[in-house]
Amino acid sequence: MTASAMPVAPPLSEQGRMIARAFVEARRSGRALPTYPGEQPEGLDAAYAIQDAAIALVPDAIAGWKLGRIPPPLDARFGAGRLAGPIFAANVQAAGGVVEFPLIEGGFGAVEAEYLLLMAETPTLRDGWTPAEATRLVSQVRVGVEIAGSPFPGINDHGPAVTASDFGNNAGLILGAEVDRDWAGQPDALADLVCEMRIDGQTVGTGGTTSIPGGPFDSLAFLLNALHRRGLRPEAGQWISTGAATGVHRIVAGQSAEADFGPHGIIACRAVRAEGGAG
């Protein structure tokens, strides 16, 4: 495909549309889906077709995009080292005090320490973005916490296509402190940042930007290229959650978490039971 060629979305079956509706309705009502609501997609193209159909059913703006790692050997099988999903505006909160976030009882829930990039502009819709080019699209870097969540408790147990089909397993984002750094043209400018995640006071993971393959700007370059193939692009003002820096840490309603970013502060949050009504 040339840089100017427009991608063509794969056709979506009625079953694919039913899967999209099932996930959106379950999230809105706060109801778990004990089993996957249809035939599981075998590849990422099919998964993203379901995701796109689900996005169209949500009456909320996309405030950002999350990236999740696809580890070996699945990366070779699925032809990608990451997967992507939308973050909706209603699910974005600012850090401060103890931030409460809802999880669907009987579904999946986790917290992830992340590094967030704010898009300064809407990029050209093209392929071939590099990490160095991606740095020049970013106006701000912050620390944050991604809330991973799905009505389907097995969302991460059946491969990346299943994960991608339900918004990439995203249920929210908490925005922390800004990182004061000059990164333009320097993809490795954030390489020294480290963090720790605690749940109910116990350390469950440590890491930092070097835990994200290629670093946060490599994640953004991947997203630009991946969305291009869907005829999409991140827009100015959207946040990019670049990947789990300490791992994906399961959490249930009633538990508390702290993402400790050292000089950039601690983000404290607590999971509560979803009561329905969320987009």
Distance of alpha carbon 249 from alpha carbon 158, whole angstroms: 18
Give per-residue pLDDT as tens, 221-272.
999 999 999 999 999 999 999 999 999 999 999 999 999 999 999 999 999 9
pLDDT band for position 9 (cuts 50, 70, 90) = low
Give per-residue pLDDT as tens, 35-82.
999 999 999 999 999 999 999 999 999 999 999 999 999 999 999 999
Distance of alpha carbon 233 from alpha carbon 130, whole angstroms: 15
Q: Are 205 and 29 in contact (CB under 8 A)?
A: no
Displacement of CA 139 from its chain's centroid (Å): 19
Distance of alpha carbon 228 from alpha carbon 51, whole angstroms: 15
Cis peptide before 73 (omega within 30 of 0): yes
Q: Tokens 């609501």, residue? A: 37
- What residues form DSSP beta bridges with 66? 85, 241
- pLDDT at site 277: 43
The better pLDDT of the pair 278, 56 is held by 56
Whether the pLDDT of residue 155 is over 80: the answer is yes
Instruction: Tell me how many degrees the CA angle 106-112-115 measures, rounded to the nearest 5.
Output: 150
Distance of alpha carbon 199 from alpha carbon 244, whole angstroms: 15
Continuous segment of H or E residues that includes residue 134: helix 131-135
Distance of alpha carbon 35 from alpha carbon 151, whole angstroms: 9
Instruction: Tell me how many degrees the CA angle 181-182-186 measures, rounded to the nearest 5.
Output: 120
**Which of 224, 223, 195 lies closest to 209, judged by CA?**
195
3-state DSSP assignment of residue 258: strand
pLDDT band for position 2 (cuts 50, 70, 90) = very low
**Which of 186, 191, 179 lies closest to 262, judged by CA?**
179
